[in-house]
Chain A
Amino acid sequence: MPDGIYSQMMKELSEGKYVFTGELEPEKAGNVDEPIQAAKDMIGLVTACNVTDNPQSFAYVSSLAAAYKIQLETGMECVYQLRCSDRNRMALLSDVLGAGTLGLTSILALAGDHVALGDTPDAKPVFDLDSTTLIHMIRKMVDEGKDLAGNEIEDPPKLHVGGAAAPGAAHLKAEVAKVKRKIKVGVEYIQTQVIYYPDILDKFFKELGPVDVPILVGIYPAKSFGAAKFFDEYVAGVDVPPDYLANMKKTKEIKDKEKRKEEVDRVNLEFFIDFLEYLKGTPSAGCHMMAVGYPRIVGPLKKVME
């Protein structure tokens, strides 16, 4: 790896390659067999995979443990998602040091959904840091070998920190100002929330203007109507297009399992191939495919960009 670059994803982004990342979701279970299988299925198709941290505030296997195990067993580079909802700055620091120790090379720093949205609504929400101060803390750890209180860190971790952006935010100007703030404190890459509408992304890029930080645009090919509907209902700040949702709903009527799968793939390809064609003309540096539990769609989609 070149100097100061610790991950394959950062290497490819810095070389200007169009980068694809995938997403793996640990579950409420005593193992991570499913995401391990999904990671294996995506080897060679994506550069790295995000490992989600209690998405939508549903409490699952620790993303640190999952990312480590998946990376170890499959060789897939894992982007460790870390949210502020459940940990104070000490626990965050410990986990970042832990990630470095375990050989993880990239963290996606998130505020995280409020615990009230998930399956453990009586938990005490933490939010001691927010996404910006978490990014700042990680950069301080890596670059200066110090924690937020100024304490020295021996053999600082070597990893990259990314942040999120929500191009579909209700208040675009405030959102863009926040993204610029993250850039100011040293975020190294950005992965966006899921986007379905080109005009929304265009507005976002226009408002943001040219920036030095690579931006990977999030898309969500859903493996079933249920998954798409869940996304529509539970993911804060995202509306799934009604047409796409209706087409996905129709697939439920197909009794034969294999035929249904084919139809789901067809609906997804129809929608997302157009979207990917459009992405080629945007300033995006890559595409983050949150095709959770749906690795078979990644190959056919990626072909569009070749």
Chain B
Amino acid sequence: MIAQEQKPMEEILGYLEGKKNIVVMGCGGCATFYHTGDKKAVDDLAAKLESAGKAVTKISMPLGMQACDTEKSGMYLDKNRKEVENCDALLLMSCGDGVQVVTEYTDDEMGLAKNVYPANDAIGLVGGGPFKFKETCQSCGMCELGKTAGICPLTACGKGLMNGPCGGVRVDNKCEIDEKKDCAWVKIYERMEKLGELDDFMSMRDAHEWGKCKRPRLFELEEPMTMMDMMGAMMNFNTVTGYTSLMLAKKPEKEKEEEKA
């Protein structure tokens, strides 16, 4: 998922200076998961804007309704057409993807010219949880994990080296750039040692093929997911057992306490 955090109020209010009517829209995808787009987050931000003298219309997309999906965000924008038409700006509680999908929709489909501002800063594709997450992949388009024992050299290594470690590894094998992070290349070494692949470690990996990532990348799906597919994916035996197990699982209090400490 795409981790994100809310921007400082100062910056948000800076974008909205001189603008009175604001539509605050919260994404029901990753942003909801990270509390930066769920109903409560929308309510909180709206309250802050109101106390700063703004008139706010709230659009809370429920879980599973992502702002980056044109069909879904379009539906919610259309439902609130009058407010969107009359607003001085939209404030999107989503990653930059959601912001841009909404911008395109208001431009191209609604025929409006509106400022759509980001309320969040997207941090990246992260894995982990429930408390701690780590950026693990930057969707480079040419996955190298098969050459580096499953640890992304481009993302986990602070310099994105294909052939590390660099000379700056700190004591305790922490990264040159940040003593809180592990050196990815020490980890790659240790995994390859366990896997009996040290010869491969000692061979040069070619420079990454950045040519595989010509931005913006376009992507086409021959058969988009239908509503029925979605229902089927959500409501089956596996979903029921999966969610039940998660509910019954012991809360990871330890990690939470560690975090607090």
Q: Is B162 a contact partner of A130 (Cβ separation < 8 A)?
A: yes
* Known A-B contacts A127-B159, A132-B204, A177-B202; A170 and B170 likewise in contact (beta carbons under 8 Å): yes
* Of the residues B160, B169, B203, B207, contact of A171 by C-beta under 8 Å: B169
Q: Is A178 a contact partner of B159 (Cβ separation < 8 A)?
A: no
The complex places the Cα of A236 from the Cα of B202 at a distance, in Å, of 23
Query: What DSSP secondary structure best describes chain B's contact surface?
Result: loop
Chain A: number of interface residues, binned into ranges: 35 or more
The complex places the Cα of A117 from the Cα of B198 at a distance, in Å, of 31
* Known A-B contacts A133-B204, A136-B204; A114 and B159 likewise in contact (beta carbons under 8 Å): yes
Q: Does A185 contact B (CB under 8 A)?
A: yes
Chain B: number of interface residues, binned into ranges: 20 to 34
The complex places the Cα of A113 from the Cα of B161 at a distance, in Å, of 12
Q: Does B243 contact A (CB under 8 A)?
A: no
Residues of chain B contacted by A131 (CB below 8 angstroms): 163, 166
Q: Is B202 a contact partner of A180 (Cβ separation < 8 A)?
A: yes
Q: Is B207 a contact partner of A237 (Cβ separation < 8 A)?
A: no
Q: Is B158 a contact partner of A114 (Cβ separation < 8 A)?
A: yes
The complex places the Cα of A92 from the Cα of B159 at a distance, in Å, of 17
Residues of chain B contacted by A5 (CB below 8 angstroms): none
Residues of chain A contacted by B173 (CB below 8 angstroms): 170-171
Q: Does B177 contact A (CB under 8 A)?
A: yes
The complex places the Cα of A111 from the Cα of B167 at a distance, in Å, of 8
A208: shortest Cβ distance to chain B, in Å?
12
The complex places the Cα of A129 from the Cα of B163 at a distance, in Å, of 9
The complex places the Cα of A174 from the Cα of B164 at a distance, in Å, of 8
Q: Is B202 a contact partner of A181 (Cβ separation < 8 A)?
A: yes
Residues of chain B contacted by A113 (CB below 8 angstroms): 168, 176
The complex places the Cα of A174 from the Cα of B166 at a distance, in Å, of 10
Q: Is B163 a contact partner of A169 (Cβ separation < 8 A)?
A: no
Q: Is A237 a contact partner of B168 (Cβ separation < 8 A)?
A: yes
Q: 1/0 per residue A219-259: CB within 8 Å of B?
A: 00000000000000000110000000000000000000000
Stretch of B24-32, B183-191, B224-232 at the chain-chain interface: B183-191
Q: Does A43 contact B (CB under 8 A)?
A: no
Q: Is A127 a contact partner of B161 (Cβ separation < 8 A)?
A: yes
Q: Is B163 a contact partner of A181 (Cβ separation < 8 A)?
A: yes
Q: Is A114 a contact partner of B169 (Cβ separation < 8 A)?
A: no
B15: shortest Cβ distance to chain A, in Å?
21
Q: Does A203 contact B (CB under 8 A)?
A: no
The complex places the Cα of A164 from the Cα of B158 at a distance, in Å, of 19
* Of the residues A117, A127, A173, A184, contact of B160 by C-beta under 8 Å: A127
Q: Does B105 contact A (CB under 8 A)?
A: no
Q: Does A104 contact B (CB under 8 A)?
A: no
Q: Is A193 a contact partner of B167 (Cβ separation < 8 A)?
A: yes
Q: Is B177 a contact partner of A114 (Cβ separation < 8 A)?
A: yes
Q: Does A55 contact B (CB under 8 A)?
A: no
Which chain A residues in 126-141 approach chain B with CB under 8 Å? 127-133, 136
The complex places the Cα of A80 from the Cα of B124 at a distance, in Å, of 37
Q: Is A169 a contact partner of B169 (Cβ separation < 8 A)?
A: yes
Q: Does B172 contact A (CB under 8 A)?
A: yes
Residues of chain B contacted by A127 (CB below 8 angstroms): 159-161
Q: Is B204 a contact partner of A237 (Cβ separation < 8 A)?
A: no
The complex places the Cα of A129 from the Cα of B162 at a distance, in Å, of 8
Q: Is A174 a contact partner of B165 (Cβ separation < 8 A)?
A: yes
* Known A-B contacts A128-B210, A129-B207; A177 and B166 likewise in contact (beta carbons under 8 Å): no
* Of the residues A133, A175, A184, contact of B165 by C-beta under 8 Å: A175
Q: Is B185 a contact partner of A133 (Cβ separation < 8 A)?
A: no
Name which of B162, B166, B169, B208 has the most chain A CB atoms within 10 A of its CB.
B166
Q: Does A125 contact B (CB under 8 A)?
A: yes
* Known A-B contacts A111-B167, A169-B167, A169-B169; A117 and B176 likewise in contact (beta carbons under 8 Å): yes
Residues of chain B contacted by A164 (CB below 8 angstroms): 167
Q: Does A69 contact B (CB under 8 A)?
A: no
Residues of chain A contacted by B158 (CB below 8 angstroms): 114
Q: Does B258 contact A (CB under 8 A)?
A: no
Q: Is A169 a contact partner of B165 (Cβ separation < 8 A)?
A: yes
Residues of chain B contacted by A175 (CB below 8 angstroms): 165, 167, 169
Q: Does B259 contact A (CB under 8 A)?
A: no
The 6 closest A-B pairs by CB, nearest first: A236-B168, A166-B167, A174-B189, A132-B163, A130-B161, A236-B176
30 contacts between A and B (CB under 8 A): A85-B159, A89-B207, A111-B159, A111-B166, A114-B177, A117-B176, A125-B159, A127-B160, A129-B207, A130-B162, A131-B166, A132-B162, A133-B207, A166-B169, A169-B169, A170-B183, A170-B186, A173-B189, A173-B193, A174-B164, A177-B198, A178-B163, A178-B164, A180-B202, A181-B163, A181-B204, A184-B202, A185-B204, A237-B168, A237-B169
Given contacts A117-B176, A130-B164, A236-B176, 18 further A-B contacts (CB under 8 A): A111-B159, A111-B166, A114-B158, A116-B177, A125-B160, A128-B210, A130-B161, A132-B162, A169-B165, A171-B186, A171-B189, A173-B189, A174-B164, A177-B189, A178-B163, A178-B185, A184-B203, A237-B168
Chain A interface residues toward B at CB < 8 A: 85, 89, 111, 113-114, 116-117, 125, 127-133, 136, 148, 164-166, 169-171, 173-175, 177-178, 180-181, 184-185, 193, 236-237
